[in-house]
Structure 1
Amino acid sequence: MANDASESVVKAHSLAQKAVKDPLTGLGNKLAMEQKANVLLQAGETFSIVVIGLDRFRDVNDSHGYATGDMALLEVASMLQTSTQSGEILYRISGDEFAVIRAGEADGASERSLAFIEAVKQPIMLGGIRLVLGASAGTAQSPADGGEYELLLKRAGLALREAKKGGRGHDCRIPLGT
């Protein structure tokens, strides 16, 4: 009976882990990011959410297939992970969007966004195919841009769309009240 209970606990833990992990990259997913942001919000901590959207990624899937697209996403995840610093956690929140929660003061948020954009500019070689992607980023800061996770994520997403309007490869923050 104890063995059955142990197996049940292991299965429950495994399911809980799968619920917060992106199956392709192994990074935390949108649910994991929400959980972390809510912990920081409840503690009254200052932090930023940087949403990083890949530029021209649809072209990769259309031209080279989804398997190549998945491999490219793995490479991008690795490049972004290598670019993170202490106090930053990388997540994959949708198909071609990643996000970073950056704990601490907002100083340097724009520079960090630009560092992530630069990291993604590096060419990727996949089976003889040379891919050059790009990225744009949008940032929201707590508490300046809101005190709720959904509002912060929405504002970072709006800032990302605004950055992409600027011609790709840009970063943006739309201060609250604009």
Structure 2
Amino acid sequence: MNLIAYLIIAVEIGFWVFIAAGLVTRYLFGRKRLGLLLLAITPVLDLTLLIATTVDILANDATATAAHGIAAIYLGVSLTFGKRMIRWADERFRYHLMKKGPKPVKRYGFDHARHELSGSLLHVLAWMLGGGYLFLLVRLAGNPGQTEVLLQILKVWTLVAAIDVALSLSYFIWPRKAKADSFR
């Protein structure tokens, strides 16, 4: 495993550590500003990964690996889904650990389909951001042999994003139904 792969793992762990620390600080210690600051550090982790990946390929003339491509995917997903993931964690933290706030919503029917489609559209945006970054790296490196794996990853990601959108659209045709009450 190369340095970028280790950095991806460290950034992902750091992301969840800072979210947990921010939520604990906010709700258990009542320090809302400090909690917000801890939550706001997560984009700094993404920036660190972005800089490291770019420097590794462009300045160090490293041959791109799958880890470089995964770093781009991670960056695109983190930028587009980061706020949603923090909100998801915040809702569950308040409900399950603090015993405050509303129960997290289970979605069915058109509401579920719309929610899934919004997630798929965010995935397309993540693909555009991460894919744009991959394409930029390929162009700036100027050496197809050095960056071939990045284009392969982009092809696979394109297929995954298309399948995600198709699945989300299927919920409009076959909506998710609430489970029948087992006590009836």
Normalising by structure 2, what TM-score?
Answer: 0.31
Normalising by structure 1, what TM-score?
Answer: 0.32
Highest CA radius of gyration, 1 or 2? 2
Determine which structure has the larger helix proportion and give its number: 2
Determine which structure has the larger strand proportion and give its number: 1
